Structure 1
């Protein structure tokens, strides 16, 4: 079958792909559900890869929770084949109801497939619209400015260790969803419409409708997010610098850092990073518990060893020691330096 030409990378996206992917070895993996956003991302990524002499691999997760899922995976495989893009369907062998469980399974499957392909980055199709929706959802939940800055262009995959750390790259955060649909129409490509995207039982659907009815609100949110993102970049880069300069990983997997921890809001983020690294867990910590422990660390002479998020936090000789509450497997311990390096990369926002 004759391979079709992929759409040209839209103006402004080349730099985004370069920043997220250029120095990463191995193929660039793209998570593709069959929806318009992810299909457009796949075709744009394939064109970028061709200009850079890189390989692309499409990954589709079949959760087995909807009867249409298998057909949607075949739909993606057929489109990938027409463009000469390798494709894999990843099946959740023991599907369980619940969005959180499905999300964890999806990330585990995607990360494992990326590692098998020799890659450490997975591109996802979060758009400018997703960012605006996320702002309202987080604002309603009481998020502070750091969370309201929105979805980040690069983050550590929430897939649980062991294994090589995998990063999630989001090159389309400045691209409107409508522009991606237009690109697919221009090239005669259809896409899958998930019926849940029209179900008002989901908060994101209700928020999406609110923004569609008030375009001016969308503009105001994106303007504010742009400013908050600049502040977050400064905070995250400072955290990356601290992780690089001050955090020591011991052969047994323990982490040590000098006291005091970074000042202000960065104290809690620094502590959360150490706990995540030592415990091997990726789930967010309860903010109230993290805040209390971070405050206690400001008075190290009275701090007794404390546990949080699967880690033991203690002070010894003016240094903070963080270790796993329960013993980690040797491969998990050996992966901690790589996870630290990946965390620094994610904080820096580029590879």
Structure 2
């Protein structure tokens, strides 16, 4: 959904036709496909879902289909609509979704974004703020995944656009069924799921007709100023191109799933995660991998250890796949790589001594994108968190048992008002701040490509023409 005023108009389809045999057949197909998705990814959905519903046909189909699941397989979920605060009509659209949820007996919340200068907000900024708000809301309600209404149309359009931009095989694999939330660190411990990715938009609209549902029509879907609209029009009138894209997509998905499975298994045997989110891996084993696999491995590892939101630029990562110059040390994407005795250490780069996080009692925050810090005490005042770096070792610690400096320098420490280290939470039991490193879990989530359901269903796709 485009958040700007030019892209939305009030609800349409006020005079819905009676349920037809065609819409009933489509409805059964939608529900059967969703039921298989929920069963296939039972573990990933077991922590509960936040359905992101805008009021358009795709997300409303997501809402109605989840509401119609049998209780025996229905995961816990609630619904949220994001009002980007950029269009006056957005509130009414969100309220419409709320009315639907009330009729269905579902929990619904409106998340309103605020901007200092709404006129200058880009679509990328609005998208990031939307996912950050959804992530915070999901976490506040104890949910572990956010579901969106991406469709098969969206998948093919994405592949076409990426192909035109010169994307490689990994990009041509399109969107996964289950992926990392595209914001960090707000998205820690959360997944993004796309339950409708194997379904055409027209089938979802037929399904909505069958349940008597209304949706909001988006004028931007017919505005040819947008590349995606031009691509959508081209594919709608070109079944041969659709068939060709499906072949490209099928090949790319199969290869990427295979590569991801291979690398996940390889990493489990050859990568060791260390205190504070650093990692080390076996260099001889790494250099035996195909260059493309080394590249994907490095991109995921550097992003996780560096605590970054986005992957490094591919050309910069490619320059390191043979680890040139790493005996002396190389830096990239917030990390320092050092090869010694056949092992490559990937550790966070130094943090300026002046960088300080103030942590309130009974609160949590993510330090440098790597470590979740939770303060469990009720003492008054804020805890001052900084990176250890060159600060003194507190007297409470045994100097002889400390990790080596290139690992421990980036550990978060607690300072007193004089700027002296009083606690190193990673190394002390009973510290007032409890640390949990996020790098390992994030690395594996970035490395994986969970599209097995899409691949299976695509091979068995039924024709509804």
- TM-score of the superposed pair, with normalisation by structure 1: 0.89
Aligned match of 1:331: 372
Range that drifts further, 74-83 or 322-331: 322-331
Q: Distance in 2 between matches of 1:269 and 1:331?
A: 25
Provide the aligned length of Structure 1 versus Structure 2: 341
Give 1:247 deviation, angstroms. Answer: 2.1
Deviation digits for residues 230-287 of structure 1 (CA, Å, limit 9, x no counterpart): 1111011112222333222211221111114232311111001111111111213211
Aligned match of 1:119: 143
1:109 and 2:133 equivalent? yes
Q: Distance in 2 between matches of 1:91 and 1:20?
A: 31
Cα 1:326–1:103, aligned 2, differ >3 Å: closer, same or farther? Answer: farther
Where do 1:114-153 residues align within 5 Å?
Answer: 114-153=138-177
Pick 1 or 2: higher relative contact order, CA cutoff 8 A, min separation 6.
1
1:291 and 2:393 equivalent? no
Give 1:124 deviation, angstroms. Answer: 1.3
**Which of residues 51, 73, 76 in structure 1 aligns to 2:97?**
76
Where do 1:15-54 residues align within 5 Å?
Answer: 15-22=36-43, 24-48=45-69, 50-54=71-75
Give 1:122 deviation, angstroms. Answer: 1.2
Give 1:304 deviation, angstroms. Answer: 3.5
Aligned match of 1:93: 114
RMSD (CA atoms): 2.3
Range that drifts further, 104-113 or 155-164: 155-164
Cα 1:92–1:114, aligned 2, differ >3 Å: closer, same or farther? Answer: same
Higher relative helix content: 1
1:347 and 2:374 equivalent? no
Q: Distance in 2 between matches of 1:65 and 1:312?
A: 41
Aligned match of 1:275: 302
Extract unaligned runs of 5+ from structure 1.
1-6
Cα 1:254–1:178, aligned 2, differ >3 Å: closer, same or farther? Answer: same
Give 1:192 deviation, angstroms. Answer: 1.0
**Which of residues 210, 214, 233 in structure 2 aligns to 1:209?**
233
Give 1:115 deviation, angstroms. Answer: 1.2
Cα 1:23–1:150, aligned 2, differ >3 Å: closer, same or farther? Answer: closer
Cα 1:154–1:203, aligned 2, differ >3 Å: closer, same or farther? Answer: same
Range that drifts further, 267-276 or 237-246: 237-246
Aligned match of 1:313: 337
Give 1:303 deviation, angstroms. Answer: 4.6
Cα 1:49–1:99, aligned 2, differ >3 Å: closer, same or farther? Answer: farther
1:235 and 2:259 equivalent? yes
Give 1:117 deviation, angstroms. Answer: 1.6
Range that drifts further, 305-314 or 265-274: 305-314
Extract unaligned runs of 5+ from structure 2.
1-26, 352-366, 374-435, 454-465
Cα 1:17–1:54, aligned 2, differ >3 Å: closer, same or farther? Answer: closer
Aligned match of 1:3: none
| Secondary structure of the corresponding residue to residue 184 of structure 2 | coil
Cα 1:264–1:213, aligned 2, differ >3 Å: closer, same or farther? Answer: same
Q: Distance in 2 between matches of 1:66 and 1:308?
A: 40
Q: Distance in 1 between matches of 2:452 and 2:189?
A: 15
| Secondary structure of the corresponding residue to residue 344 of structure 2 | strand
1:225 and 2:249 equivalent? yes
Higher relative strand content: 2
Deviation digits for residues 284-319 of structure 1 (CA, Å, limit 9, x no counterpart): 321111111224x1x46x653222222222223222
Q: Distance in 1 between matches of 2:49 and 2:446?
A: 19
Give 1:82 deviation, angstroms. Answer: 1.1
Q: Distance in 2 between matches of 1:279 and 1:23?
A: 26
Give 1:138 deviation, angstroms. Answer: 0.2
Q: Distance in 2 between matches of 1:48 and 1:323?
A: 46
Aligned match of 1:4: none
- TM-score of the superposed pair, with normalisation by structure 2: 0.68
Aligned match of 2:33: 12
Deviation digits for residues 95-117 of structure 1 (CA, Å, limit 9, x no counterpart): 55111111111111111111112
Give 1:34 deviation, angstroms. Answer: 1.0
| Secondary structure of the corresponding residue to residue 93 of structure 1 | coil
Alpha carbons 1:239, 1:347 under 8 Å: kept: no
Q: Distance in 2 between matches of 1:162 and 1:107?
A: 9
- Asked which structure has the greater CA Rg, the reply is 2
Cα 1:185–1:163, aligned 2, differ >3 Å: closer, same or farther? Answer: closer
